[in-house]
Amino acid sequence: MTPQEFANAVLAHQRFVAGRAGGKRAELRFVNLSGLRFPRINLSGAILTGINLSRSTLHDADLGFADMFCANMAGCDAQGSNFFRADMRGVQLHGAKLRGANLSEADLRPGTLSGTERRMLADLSETDLDDAKLNGANMVETTLAGASMKRVEMKGAAVIRSNLAGADLTGANLEGANVQNADLAGAVLAQANLRFCKFNGSNFKGVALKDVDLSGADVRDSQMARRIDSLPLDVQSILREHSAWIESAGARGKRAELANVDLHDADFTGMTLNVASFTGANLAGASFTHAMLMFADFAGADVTNADFTQADLRGANFKDAKALMAKFRRAQLSKAPLRTEKGQSAWPTSLAGADLSGADLSDADLRGVKLDGANLRGANLARANLEGASLVRTDLSVANTTDATMPGPIPPGKAN
C-alpha cells in the first residue's frame, strides 16, 4: 500500500465513522506501517488483522472496536490511545508504551492466524501500562512479564493462566479479577487492591504481600515462598553470618556453605549472597529475584522452576545444575570483573552441562557465558545477548531465539 492509498483509506474511514456519504470502513489487513507516525488517528472499528504497527507512533489514537487480531505493535507509542472492546487476540506489544491507554473490555486472548498452526499469545511484556484501564478485559494466557502497571485499573478482568512475573502493580486495582493459575513470581503488589480476586493455583513466590488488600480474595492452592524466618535455625544462622561476612569484607562472619541443603521454595528475594555455596542443594521453586549472586556456586544444584529474574549472577557457577523451567529473565550472566595479581580480568559465568530445558532466559545478558554441553531445548532466549558465548555441543532444539544476539550462525537443532 502506497502512502497515498493509506491516506485515502483513512479519509474514507473518517467519513464512514461520521456516517457521511462516500464513507468506507478501512480494511488494512497485513499492511506494513512500521515506524510511521500518525498520532490521534481515528481507526475505530477498522479491520486491522495482522497489521504491522511496530515502532510506530499513534498516541491518543482511537482504535476502539477495531479488529486487531494478531497485529504487531511491538515497541509502538500508543500512550493515551483508546482500544475499548478491540479484538486484540494474539497481538504483539512487547516494549510498547501504553501509559494511560484504555483497553477496557479488550479481548487479549491467544490467537491463531488462518493458514498457520502457530498459536500466538498476546505479548504485553515490558510494556508501560501505568494508569491504563483494563477493566473487564479478557487477558487469558496473556504475557505481562516485567510490565509497568502502576495504578492500572483491572476490575473484573480475566487474567487466568497469564504471566505477570516481575510486573510492577503498585497501587493497581484488581478488585474482583480472576487471576487463577497465574504466575506472579517477583511481582510488586505494594498498596494494590486485590479484594475478592480469585488467585486459586497462582504463584506468589518472591512477592511481598505487606500493605496489600486481600480481603475476600481466594488464595487456595496458591504457591507461597518459604520466608527466611521459617527456615531451619541453623540455615538462618548461616545466612546471618554470610551477611556479616559480606558487609565487613570478610572481617566478621563466615561465607555461606549450604551444600546439599533442602531449600526448596525458599524466598531469597533481593538478598546479597555473593560467593555463597549452594552446590548440590535442593532449590526447586526458590526465588532469587533481584538478588546479588556474583560468584555464587550452584554446581549440581536443583533449581527447577527457581526464579532468578533480574538477579546479578555474573561469575556464578551452574555447572551440571538441574534448571528445568527456571526463570532468568533480564538476569545478568555476563563475565564478572576479577582482580588478580596480574591485574584486572573477567571470570565467565558457567552453565556448562546444565539442563535448562524450557527455561526462560529472555532479555538476559549472557555475553561470554559457557553453555558447552547445556540442554536449552525449548528454552526462551528472545532478545537475549549471547555475544561471545561458548555453545559447543549445546542443544538449542526448538529454542526461541527471536531477536537474540547470537555468537554465530545457529545450525538446525544443535549449535556447534
With residue 340 as reference, give the H or E element that holds it: strand 336-340
Query: In the chain, what is the straight-line distance between the N-terminal and C-terminal CA atoms, in Å?
Result: 42
Question: What's the pLDDT at 62?
Answer: 96
Q: Is the pLDDT of residue 261 over 60?
A: yes
Question: What's the pLDDT at 119?
Answer: 72
Distances (CA, A) of 339 to 336, 345, 399: 10, 6, 36
Alpha-carbon distance of 382 to 152, in angstroms, equals 27
Alpha-carbon distance of 284 to 51, in angstroms, equals 42
Alpha-carbon distance of 296 to 45, in angstroms, equals 54
Q: Is the pLDDT of residue 387 over 70?
A: yes
Write out pLDDT tens, residues 167-179.
999 999 999 999 9
Tell me what the mean pLDDT of segment 102-109 comes to.
91
Question: What's the pLDDT at 416?
Answer: 39
Question: What's the pLDDT at 80?
Answer: 94
Q: Which of 96-110, 322-336, 402-416 has the lowest mean pLDDT?
A: 402-416
Q: Is the pLDDT of residue 414 over 60?
A: no
- In this structure, what C-alpha cell is assigned to residue 380? 526462551
Nearest CA among 227, 297, 311 for reference residue 265: 227
Exposed, middle or buried by CB within 10 Å (0-12, 13-18, 19+), for 224? middle
Banded model confidence at residue 411, pLDDT cuts 50, 70, 90: very low
Question: What's the pLDDT at 264?
Answer: 93
Question: What's the pLDDT at 415?
Answer: 43
Tell me what the mean pLDDT of segment 286-294 comes to.
93
Q: Is the pLDDT of residue 186 over 70?
A: yes
% of the chain surpassing 90 pLDDT = 74
pTM: 0.73
Tell me the torsion sign for CA atoms 5, 48, 31, 406: positive
Q: Which residue has the cell 481507526?
A: 43
Q: Could you give all domains of the chain from N- to C-terminal order, each with its CATH number?
A: 227-416 (2.160.20.80)
Question: What's the pLDDT at 413?
Answer: 44
Question: What's the pLDDT at 111?
Answer: 83
Write out pLDDT tens, residues 209-251.
777 888 999 999 888 877 888 899 999 999 999 999 999 999 9
Q: Are 284 and 305 in contact (CB under 8 A)?
A: yes
Write out pLDDT tens, residues 136-174.
999 988 989 889 999 999 999 999 999 998 899 999 999
Chain mean pLDDT for the chain: 91
DSSP for 302-338? B-TT-B-TT-B-TT-B-TT-B-TT-B-TT-B-SPEEE
Tell me what the mean pLDDT of segment 194-220 comes to.
88
Phi-psi region of 310 (alpha: psi -120 to 50; beta: other; left: phi over 0): left
